[in-house]
Amino acid sequence: MNDQQLLQYSRHLLLPEIDMHGQQAWLDASVLILGLGGLGSPVALYLASAGVGKLVLVDDDAVELSNLQRQVIHTTESIGEPKAESAAAQIKRINPNIEVDVRVERLEEAAMVELVSSVDLVVDCTDNFSTRHALNRACYAAKVPLVSGAAIRFEGQVTVYDPRSEGSPCYRCLYPESAELDLNCSTSGVFAPLVGMVGTVQAAEALKVLANIGQPLVGRLLMVDALTMDWRTFKLRADASCPVCGETHE
């Protein structure tokens, strides 16, 4: 690290759990963020400010006025722009020294597998179950950690699926592939600060995994009810009959 970086990241360097080793791990890391909406906004902002060396931003959507209620990385000037490009511009204002790869596209599963295989960690900030299941399969096949978050109405959740960790469940262990579960904010609504709360936790979990510090939410599901501000953690078990990861748990 040069003198500028030592100053820029000094508040992290003061933490003994992080120190030079953790900060260098972030500088050397590459992270795929899929979805630059309500969850992806705080994830991208915090990973960029923390100095993650390369961020791959994937989103095929454009910024709309209704997004600005909660998608804090975008502005009124961004309306009509691709979300990935809008997010990249804001990231560069915060930390121009990191690399940003912008993908304005909806990834087919083959392309998703290839892209996941090229990064150190994936953060799922999408809002539909079919994409989440495809991303889960890609991460499991590539043995890449997946930080998963979701928020709807006043309820949110975060967990970490790590195929490198013995006994870690995957997304398919918890949720079957069913159209009946296809909920999203545009049809159900969402409390604006909730996505910030969930996305910030996702960013924290991503940084913990990359720097190998603390106890990431592997095998645990963190849930929050923003109406009561009740936070609960549940233990998760891998499903031995899971069609994605079941063979490793037999």
**Angle, CA 194 vertex, CA 212 and CA 75 arms, to 5°:** 95
Residue 181 has pLDDT above 70, yes or no: no
Structural domains of the chain, ranges and CATH numbers in brackets: 3-249 (3.40.50.720)
> Which of 33-42, 52-61, 93-102, 165-174 is predicted with the least confidence, judged by mean pLDDT?
165-174
Is residue 187's pLDDT more than 80? Answer: no
On average, the pLDDT of the chain sits at: 94
Q: What is the per-residue pLDDT for 186?
A: 65
The arithmetic mean of pLDDT across residues 190-198, rounded, is 97
Chain centroid, CA 58 distance in Å: 11
Q: What percent of the chain has pLDDT over 70?
A: 96
8-state DSSP, 153: B
* Cα–Cα distance measured from residue 42 to residue 94, given in angstroms and rounded to the nearest whole number: 13
For residue 21, how far is the Cα from the chain centroid? 22
Strand-pair category, 146-152 with 121-124: parallel
Q: What is the pLDDT of residue 166?
A: 86
The pLDDT assigned to 177 comes to 83
For the chain, state the CA radius of gyration: 17
According to the model, what pLDDT value does residue 200 have? 98
Q: Is 66 exposed, middle or buried (0-12, 13-18, 19+ CB in 10 A)?
A: exposed
Q: How many CA atoms lie within 13 A of 37 on its CB side?
A: 26
CB distance 116 to 138 below 8 Å:
yes
pTM of the model: 0.94
Mean pLDDT of 80-106: 97
